Amino acid sequence: MPDLDNDPLKNHPKMDESYSWATAEKVRERLHKNPPPLPIQENWDEAERVEGVYSSNAIEGSTLTLGETEAVLRGAIVPGKELNDHLAAINLNLAWKKMKDWAKNPITEHLLLEIHQIILTRINDEDAGRYRNRRVRIIGSEHVAPNPLAVSEKMTEVFKDFAGIGKRTPIEHAADLHSGIVTVHPFVDGNGRSSRLIQNVALMRGGFWPITIPLSERARYIEATAQANAGNYEPYRNYILEKVIDQGLQRLAMYD
């Protein structure tokens, strides 16, 4: 288990059984009791946003590097890169900036559609903010997405389940929302980016912080997601718990 009484990153191990809800709560408590100075927090938020935009788009096949993503967000055009890669970075950046405000209100289907609308604007305006009306195959997955006629009903079920937290922790709650969305695969495109972003909104509403899925862990993320698609939610819940703790400790290491 991470030593929260000393350097939070010293000898920090990868995910193991000692990574628990209690650990996440302890990290949250320390961050809330001792927030960083505003300039440090603003710098962290900007760096986190750029990395989050880069990683989420890269997971979906964008060829922009982290440095190129930052340049695009500052208004540059990167020679040799697709227009859609530029637009994907700009759109996701806009959605990321809205997360803090979105987290102040209940999380609903309407919010998911609003997120999707932003993410696909100027990339696919016909389908932006709309559930799919045709069958899709998920590349690299054996999971069969539901018939488009069933999508609306199944998404209502996903958000009905989300409305009742039950015995789940806020981290499990957020992770299960992501899992429910990607299992239905309600959109023609943008399912992963939309589900990861609304998962962050749910984490923030639960008192935590947004997380980034690193591109280097794409295979692990996809495998945990595939397990959730098959009805086994624990691997994905545990993975998100790890990311919350890891990235919470990184925040502490800024100034603690």
User: Per this entry, what is the length of the chain?
Assistant: 256
C-beta separation of 92 from 119 below 8 A: yes
Burial of 235 (0-12, 13-18, 19+ CB in 10 A): middle
Which of 213, 256, 235, 253 is CA-nearest to residue 19? Answer: 235
Other CB atoms closer than 10 Å to residue 119's CB: what's the count?
Answer: 27
Which of 60, 62, 86, 104 is CA-nearest to residue 195? Answer: 60
Distance CA 132, CA 108 (A): 18
Q: Give the active site residue among 116, 173, 178, 185.
A: 185
Distance CA 147, CA 135 (A): 6
Lookup: tokens for 132 = 């799919």
Question: Buried b vs exposed e over 46-77: b needs ≥16 C-beta within 10 Å?
Answer: eebbbbbbbbbbbbbebebeeebbbbbbeeee
The DSSP element (H or E) to which 106 belongs, if any, is none
Catalytic (active site) residue 185: yes
Which of 92, 97, 101 is CA-nearest to residue 121? Answer: 92
C-beta separation of 205 from 171 below 8 A: no
Distance CA 14, CA 27 (A): 16
- List residues with catalytic annotation: 185
